[in-house]
Every structure is written in C-alpha cells, then in structure tokens.
Amino acid sequence: MKSFLFRLYLALMKLVARFTPMQDNKVVILNGAGRSGSNGYLFGKYLEKSHPEYEVTLVEPWPSSHLPLKTWREIGAAKFVLTTHQPFKVHAKQINIQFWHGIPLKRMGIMANNTTRKTDQRNAKLWQKNADIVCSSSDLYESLMSACCGIETNKYQKTGFPRLDALKSPAISKKQLLMDLFKVEDADAKIGIYMPTFRYEMEDSQIMRQVEQGNFLTLADFDIEQLNYNLKQKQQYLIVKLHPYEMRLFENLHSNFSNITFLNNDYLNQQDVDLYELLGNTDFLITDYSSIYFDYLTIDKPIIFLTNYLQQYEEKRGLLMGPYEDVVPGICVKTQQELLEALDKSDQFQQKRHYWLNLSNQVQADSNCENVVKLMKSIRG
C-alpha cells in the first residue's frame, strides 16, 4: 500500500513540475547514495567548482515524499537529471544521466533470488523509459547491469565514475584523519576500513542481534579486545563503516578502544565530504560482498574478504560471479583468528587486483567528472 501511494505521489508531483520552463544550463542531482561513494554528490561538487556555467541543485535524500514544491519546480526546470538509483525524469525532453552507485557484484533485479517478477518488470520498464544515458566503466559493467536491469546497449557511455576521481585526491590528509578519528599522531600508522554489505536482507535475526550486541564482524569467535590489541601491536587502525541500517542498531556509535572507531555520517557531513574523499588515505579494506572492492582496486591496496555467511547470502540473494572465493583478489577468512593472521601476511594479490581492475575499469582518464561534462556539452543542442 505504501509503495502504491508513493508512486501516486510521484505521479502528481511530476505533473506539477512539468509546467516549469526548462533551462539548458540547469542540472538536478537526485542523490540516493548519501555520503558513501555517491557519484551524484561528488559530481555536483565538481560542477560547482569547475563549471560555474551550470546551475546545480542537489536533492537529497532521494526518493522522498517530503520535498517542497519549490524543489519539484527545480527538478522540472532541469535539462539534465542525474540519478544514483532508479532513473527518473519529469518529462521526455529532459536528459536522464544514470550514474548508479556501484559495479554490481550481488544479483539484483531480474537476476536476484529475492525479487518478484512483477517488480522486476516494472523496474526494467523504468530503465527503458527514463534512462537516456548510463555512465559505464567497462564492458564487464555493461554486461552485469544489462543482465540485471535489461538495459539496451546503446544507452551506455564509457565516461568512468565520478566517485573514482575522489579516491585519487583525498580531501582530508591521513594525518588529519588519524587525529580526527583516533586522536593520535602516528607517522607509521596503517589505516584500514571495514565496509560490509547490507546484511539485513539475509533476514536472519541472529545476524542482526550480533551486530546490535557489538559484534560488527558477525564472527563466532569475535573478541573486540583481542582485535584492538593485535591492531595496536601492528600500528594498525580500523575504521568501521556500517550500512546505515546497521548503524541505527547501535545506541552509541563511539568506540572505547584505541585502534577501532566507528565512522558515521555526522563526521562526513561536518567535513562536507563523501566517504570516497578520505578512502584514498586508507591502507587496506575489509569487506564481505560489497562492490566497493571494485572501486578500491583503483588505489591498489590489499583487500580481505569475510566469507562466513557466503553460502547463506548466495542462497538468499545470489552473486553475479563465482565461485566467489576464486574470483575475489584477496584473502578470504571465516573467523577472527584467520582475519588476524591475514593482517600479518604480506600482500600477494597485486597481480590479481590489476587483472580485475583492467576488466572492471577500461576508462583510464585524468578526470571521469570531466568526461561526463564533455558528454553533457555534446548533447546540449
């Protein structure tokens, strides 16, 4: 019922916005990716800094049923509507540029195990009707997206993703990051970041209960004191960046441990940065089935993969490539003990990372953002 009412609301607002005169230099960014590697947010910052000839409006959170009429008129006035999730535009004369928010590793849409045929068909129609241009990084990306969403090949443009530009030039120095998050100065520090996928969709109350109790790694042998001790011995510092849903499970997102800290959106908003604007200063990534690892290949740092719920996740939603432990370019671990051992090992996966980087990112440009601007200018007439 809520879904039907929201679609009705969107239809009414689109009708209102349709009567606003369109402006060729007007760009609206519908950002549904928050501050966690948002192509939309980062591209908007680039436009405001480097291309003042464009008038940019950032709409977030998106989608929302609480936008004022003024915002809907802004949407209606835009020549270009840029989206990070489902493609959207008010009328046919607008150009929707679809950024999306990650190279798909998990099955979604038509390919997913946990969606309905009716929903899949509705989403495929939205892509066919509203997506004019789909920004791409590679043939691999296009194959994966089309498998999931039924996107026609002529919609793709290999511009690269704006978020990858931010990895190359962090907005916050490593020294400042250490001081802000850990209150230390350590010239020899190694900063790691843990970013799991959306684990709630496994529909396992036991997993959520572990997270709520502080076991953010959801490992059977989890011991945060031992983890902190081992990190401290190796001058390693771990940033924990959970999915927004999981962050809400914690009453207090503050760690009492010297070498472990939680990163929430408050810090990112205070600094006016996206996560990717500090990610380049990290030295290793720990993840499970999050597609962030494709992006992390850009900075060529070690990656560790937690696979303790791999079988359950494959059954519930599914993965697009496999066998997973053979595909991923890093050590796979199932226990905290294995994780600690992995943190001690030398990097032996650089060649495999380079292989997957070349497959997933064929756009080797100085500025992916500028590639998108050039594309916009080429279709303005």
Note the pLDDT tens digit of each residue in 178-220. Answer: 999 999 999 999 999 999 886 655 566 777 787 777 888 999 9
Whether 284 and 237 have beta carbons less than 8 Å apart is answered as no
Residue 261 clears pLDDT 70, i.e. is over it: yes
Mean pLDDT for 35-63 is: 95
pTM: 0.92
Residue 244 clears pLDDT 90, i.e. is over it: no
pLDDT at residue number 321: 92
Burial class for 223, CB neighbours closer than 10 Å (0-12, 13-18, 19+): middle
Identify residue 76 by its one-letter amino acid code: G
Residue 296 clears pLDDT 60, i.e. is over it: yes
Mean pLDDT for 260-288 is: 93
Residue 253 clears pLDDT 90, i.e. is over it: no
Whether 260 and 240 have beta carbons less than 8 Å apart is answered as yes
Determine the distance from the C-alpha atom of residue 45 to the mean position of all C-alpha atoms in its chain, rounded to a whole number.
17
pLDDT at residue number 273: 95
Whether 148 and 123 have beta carbons less than 8 Å apart is answered as no
Q: What is the Cα Rg of the chain in Å? A: 21
**Residues sharing a CB contact under 8 Å with residue 116, sequence separation 6 or more, in sequence order:** none
pLDDT at residue number 251: 55
User: What CATH class does 2-160+364-378 carry?
Assistant: alpha beta
Dihedrals phi, psi of 335, to nearest 5 degrees? -135, 165
Mean pLDDT for 272-295 is: 94
- For the ranges 4-13, 76-85, 258-267, 318-327, the lowest mean pLDDT is seen at 4-13
pLDDT at residue number 52: 96
pLDDT at residue number 202: 57
Q: Which residue has the higher pLDDT, 246 or 237?
A: 237
The proportion of the chain whose per-residue pLDDT surpasses 90, expressed as a percent, equals: 68
- For the ranges 76-90, 104-118, 140-154, 350-364, the lowest mean pLDDT is seen at 104-118
Note the pLDDT tens digit of each residue in 90-127. Answer: 999 999 999 999 999 989 899 988 889 998 898 889 99
Residue 290 clears pLDDT 90, i.e. is over it: no
* Mean pLDDT score of the chain: 91
| pLDDT bracket for residue 82 (50, 70, 90) | very high
Note the pLDDT tens digit of each residue in 332-354. Answer: 999 999 999 999 999 999 999 99
Q: In CATH terms, are 2-160+364-378 and 167-360 the same topology?
A: yes
- For the ranges 13-27, 48-62, 355-369, the lowest mean pLDDT is seen at 13-27
The proportion of the chain whose per-residue pLDDT surpasses 70, expressed as a percent, equals: 95
Residue 265 clears pLDDT 90, i.e. is over it: no
Whether 207 and 219 have beta carbons less than 8 Å apart is answered as no
Domain boundaries, the chain: 2-160+364-378, 167-360
Q: Per the structure block, which two tokens stand in for 250?
A: 């914690």
Residue 169 clears pLDDT 80, i.e. is over it: yes
**Residues sharing a CB contact under 8 Å with residue 48, sequence separation 6 or more, in sequence order:** 56
Decide yes or no: CATH 3.40.50.12580 for domain 167-360: yes
**Residues sharing a CB contact under 8 Å with residue 4, sequence separation 6 or more, in sequence order:** none
pLDDT at residue number 380: 62
Q: Which residue has the higher pLDDT, 54 or 289?
A: 54
Note the pLDDT tens digit of each residue in 225-241. Answer: 999 999 999 999 999 99
